Each structure stands twice: as structure tokens, then as C-alpha cells.
Amino acid sequence: MWSGPRLANVTLGLWLILSAFLWPHTQVSRANSWILGLIIASIAAVGTFTPGVRAISTVPAIWLFLSSFWITDVTDATMWHNAIVAVLVLALSLVPTRDRSIIWP
């Protein structure tokens, strides 16, 4: 069963992977985005079945946020996009799983 915050983080991770290829990124920024997207989605998927794992998503979220401003030669849109995704992932990773879950096939 999928909990709302875990499903949201899987979705954000997948979106981060897609966004790396949907508009211009530098090589470093593109690699950073899709790799962190894969890590975030994977941790969130595992966290659905192992609740304690959800907190591990804070690490890639913090890295994504900081790297949004450290990586040079990216557009402002890419920088803010990644920073906003990072804040959302961080916030959702801190939400504990509740008994109410979304049943996902």
C-alpha cells in the first residue's frame, strides 16, 4: 500500500528525472537532476514498505537544494525548479506514514 507522502516523493523523483531532459541543462546539472531523481524515487518506493527509510530522503533533498545554487551556468528556471522540488521532497520525507494509505496496483 502506498502512503500519500511516499507516492508524492516517487512522483517528484520521476518528474526530476524527466525534467533533466525536457529543457536545457548543463551536463553536470542534467546528471545531478536525473541521478538524484532516481535516488529520491527509489528511497520513497522502499519507504512505502519500510517506514523508517523515508527519512533517508532528506539527504538527497538537501543535496539537491544546495546543488541548485552551487552548479554554475544553469538557467534561473532550472535553479529554482530544482530548489522547489528539493523543498517539497524534504518536507514530504519528514511526514510519517499513517494508517490511511492509497492502494496502488
Q: How confident is the model at residue 105 (pLDDT cuts 50, 70, 90)?
A: very low
Q: What does each C-alpha distance from 40 to 7, 16, 58, 95 come to in angstroms? A: 11, 9, 9, 15
Using one digit for the tens of pLDDT, what is the confidence trace for 80-103? 999 999 999 999 998 887 654 445
* C-alpha cell belonging to residue 12: 517528484
**pTM score of the predicted model:** 0.87
Residue identified by cell 516517487 is 10
